[in-house]
Amino acid sequence: MDTLRFVAGRWSAGAAAKDDDFNGQALILRAKRQAMLASNIANADTPGYKATDLNFSAALRRALDNQSAQTSSGEGYVGAADFQLSTASLVQYRQPAQSNLDGNTVDMDLERAEFAQNAILYQVALNALNDELKEFKLASSDPRR
């Protein structure tokens, strides 16, 4: 029998909790990656700037493993500090396709494409969480209305 847990500001149980965890962590990671890509674009003309990116799948896997370990041990939801520590090691420098004389590794075409793709995937993750919230509100509403 599944036990109810209060995770991320709501009650959840079993497989539904894992789905909620996935969507929530994916949204957070997409936002973090979007900020990194925006930083790369903003520093396209900065001499010596090294473009960074986040290994999204490895970061999501680590965040979910870390969260499931903490919730199963009764420690609760993963905090922001734990999340920062788990993703900091997954930040990678991009390898430039062509070297620049000033040492900057930002490829604007690649950054724009990655930024647009990540924005779309962020919106998908946000819509998934919104759908879950609507289902939760519907399920918790008074059936006599």
Give the amino acid at 66.
N
The three-state secondary structure class of 90 is coil
Question: Per-residue pLDDT tens for 20-71?
Answer: 678 888 899 999 999 999 999 999 999 999 999 998 888 888 877 876 665 5
Which pLDDT band, with edges at 50, 70 and 90, does 137 fall under?
A: confident
| pLDDT of 2 higher than 70 | no
Residue for token pair 């997954």: 90
Judge contact between 102 and 59, C-beta under 8 A: no
- Residues near 110 by beta carbon (within 8 Å), at least 6 away in sequence: 94, 97
Residue ranges covered by each domain of the chain:
13-138
pLDDT at 36: 94
What average pLDDT does this structure show over 72-89? Answer: 56
Which pLDDT band, with edges at 50, 70 and 90, does 5 fall under?
A: very low
Which pLDDT band, with edges at 50, 70 and 90, does 12 fall under?
A: very low
Which pLDDT band, with edges at 50, 70 and 90, does 106 fall under?
A: very high
| pLDDT of 89 higher than 80 | no
Q: What is the residue-averaged pLDDT of the chain? A: 78
Dihedral pair phi/psi, residue 115, rounded to 5°: -60, -45
pTM: 0.71
Question: Per-residue pLDDT tens for 25-37?
Answer: 889 999 999 999 9
Produce one character per residue of 8-46: b if its CB has 16 or more CB atoms within 10 Å, e if not: beeebeeeebeebbbbbbbbbbbebbbebbeebeebeee
